[in-house]
Structures are given as structure tokens and as C-alpha cells.
Amino acid sequence: MIATIETNSQKYKIDLSKPLDISIPLIASKNNVNAWYLKEPTIEPFQDEGWTASVKEGACINFNNIYFNPHAHGTHTECVGHITEKVHSINKNLKKFFFLAEVITVAPEKLGDDFVISKKQIQFALGNKKRKAVIIRTLPNTNDKLSAQYSHTNPPYLLEEAAAYLKTKGVDHLLIDLPSVDKEKDEGALLAHNAFWNTKGKGNIRINATITELIFVPNTVEDGTYFLNLQIAPFENDASPSKPILYAQLSD
């Protein structure tokens, strides 16, 4: 099915039958991607007085309880409520779901004991392009990201200057294949989160801006311009598991 989308007085054609899923599925396994020092998620049948809600166990239905943390156990989209005292819900703040997006690939640079993504790298990758969403794929990019155990590993992160630049450039939706845009252990500074959402600077907090973490962009997806469908579950929470889908532009 071919759809035509118009944005900024330009028309783009996409094939809705060819979605590019860049989310990581949540599975009840120690091989599930994991961060922030939590155990793996669990998906198990509800039990009550000896009755197990599983067809395999003789019930007429499967009726599972699921325990997980959206920030730790897979692809998730978060709003400014992640770092503010005031409660903000991703379900209330994310009201549009289709965006012109740019996929860029960056090799984090060594800085002291860390690997970081700098403003200069983002500037070089984006050039003069103006996009509502930017999707950052980091190198190396292997399938190990699908089951990575990130706790206590000091993964790469975004420098404050890079997050501030994306905000200044008008990027409202930042997606990255790391557990956080910030350093794992930074004593609560959360410099990139604060810079992107403008919680410490002059002007308004960016209520409608989102950060999506723990995505996976396969190597078969080339750098360039796509349309992004950012799907979330309707949780009244600062973050929700999400399923970002890309659609490539069709050539005329």
C-alpha cells in the first residue's frame, strides 16, 4: 500500500507494506536486553488456589502476568516526567506519532575512560538537514545489542553539548540504541536528558519532546531520511515500552 505524505510543502511516498521495525522485543529470559541492575522480566500464568491460567496446564485460556521495567528491559519512549518532580505522562504528552526522521551512524569517541557522542559528530552526520526525529545507530553495530547486559559496563553516551545541539536544531524526538543518553553513573547529573528537555535552561520545558532508548537499527537499514511511526502503549507513566517503525521513501 503506497501512501503520500506532505510535510514542509514537500511530498513523500512510502510503502506501508514494508515497515522497518527498530524495536527490541521483550522476552522472559536472561537473554533479554537489560540495564539498571534489575533481574530479567517475567511472563508467567496467573495462579489462584491451585488453578493456573495456562491452556498447557488445562485451563481454557492463557492469562499471563508480566513484570518488567520499561527503562531497563527493552525499547522504551520517555517524556520529561522521567526527570521532573511534577508528574508528566508519556501517554498525555506524545500526541503525534508520525515524523520525518534521519538515521545517522556514529562511532563513539574515546574521552578519558568513556566513549561519547559529541556535538561535532552529530553536526557532521546531520549537516543542514532539519528533522523532527533523529535516530542514532552506534558502532560497532552487532546483534549482541539484542541481548546486551549493560549494568556496570559504562556504555557510550551523549555529551551534554550534543543533546543541546539537537534541541537547538529543533529535534523533538531522539532515538538511540543505548540504555541511556547519559552516562551510567553520573551522580544524578543527567546532563543530556536535562539539555534535550531544557529543564535547566531558559525558556519552556520541552513537554512534547521524547527520548527513545534501547532501539536496534539493523545494518540493512541505510543512513538517510525515513518516516518514523513512534508507537507506544497507553501507560500513564513517564515511560512506555515502544515500537518505532521506519518507512523508507520511494523514489519517483
pTM greater than 0.75 (yes/no): yes
**Burial bucket for residue 109 (CB in 10 Å: 0-12, 13-18, 19+):** middle
Q: What is the pLDDT of residue 240?
A: 98
pLDDT at 5 over 90: no
Q: What is the pLDDT of residue 224?
A: 96
Higher pLDDT among residues 129 and 252, named by residue = 129
Residue 86 corresponds to which cell in the numbers above?
511534577
| 35-51 confidence digits (pLDDT tens) | 999 999 999 999 999 99
| Mean confidence (pLDDT) of the chain | 96
Strands 173-176 and 210-213: parallel
Q: What is the pLDDT of residue 252?
A: 64
| CATH 3.40.190.10, domain 2-26+70-248, yes or no | no
In contact, 202 and 163? CB cutoff 8 Å: no
| 45-101 confidence digits (pLDDT tens) | 999 999 999 999 999 999 999 999 999 999 999 999 999 999 999 999 999 999 999
Q: Per-residue confidence at 201, pLDDT binned at 50, 70, 90?
A: confident
Q: What is the pLDDT of residue 3?
A: 83
HEC assignment per residue over 70-121: CCCCCCEEECHHHCCCCCCCHHHHCCCCEEEEEEEEECCEEECCEEEECHHH
Q: What is the pLDDT of residue 189?
A: 98
Share of the chain above pLDDT 90, in %: 91
Q: How many CA atoms lie within 13 A of 59 on its CB side?
A: 15
